[in-house]
Amino acid sequence: MNSLNKTIFDRLRSGEHVPFTDPEYSQLHDACVETKKLVIALNNEADPAQQRSLLSKITSRTVDESTAVFTPFSINYGKNLWLGKNVFINANCSFLDLGGITIDDDVMIAPAVVISSEGHPINGKERRQLIPAHVHIRKNVWIGAHATILPGVTIGENSVVAAGAVVTADVPDNVVVGGVPAKIIKRINE
């Protein structure tokens, strides 16, 4: 453990950059291997209650019975994923959660969405390290098929991310965003 007595997982959740040469880096690998075993079981399970049970093991917290995941589903660590109530995650979604992903209540995620809370430096000499940044999907968001949400992004309440969008910056409440990089297309007035 480092001088602050934080685990590598605590350090990542707090946004600390972690080089691949970190003495605790092998713990990430080991934890991800254990998660893979549970993900394989999840992806081979058809019963929704059993799927929620496995997802609860993956996240180390109870997943509400109103939340559903259509498999296949992929996540690298799982312990840094927080799911609200009445969340729907469609098939072929892939989450990288070492930096933390929070998905609030009533969120709908279409097929093949990627949510990543981790990246790497652009500078090639520094690239072999993880840069974590928490992603927050707020209440009643709809994320369209094949959208990508990048590290550090917050999607505001009641907003829509259009299919195929790449979200590189925060999205305000009550808007539709689309494109690469995603920009506001229109405001939602209900």
Domain map (residue ranges) of the chain: 8-187
One digit per residue, pLDDT tens: the chain, 190 residues? Answer: 444 689 999 999 999 999 999 999 999 999 999 999 999 999 999 999 999 999 999 999 999 999 999 999 999 999 999 999 999 999 999 999 999 999 999 999 999 999 999 999 999 999 999 999 999 999 999 999 999 999 999 999 999 999 999 999 999 999 999 999 999 999 998 7
Cα angle 119, 41, 138; round to 5:
45
Residue 5 pLDDT:
82
Residues annotated as catalytic (active site), given as ranges: 120
Residue 190 pLDDT:
72
How far is the C-alpha of 135 from the C-alpha of 170, rounded, in Å?
10
Strands 73-75 and 93-96, bridge-based pairing: parallel
Give the H or E element holding residue 80: none
Burial 70-93 (b: 16+ CB within 10 A, else e): ebebbbbbbbbbebbebbebbebb
In this structure, what are the phi and psi dihedrals at residue 187, rounded to the nearest 5 degrees? -95, 150
- For residue 25, give the 3-state DSSP assignment: helix
DSSP for 149-177, please give it.
E-TT-EEPTT-EE-TT-EE-S-B-SSEEE
CATH number of 8-187: 2.160.10.10
CB 155 within 8 Å of CB 138: yes
pTM of this structure:
0.95
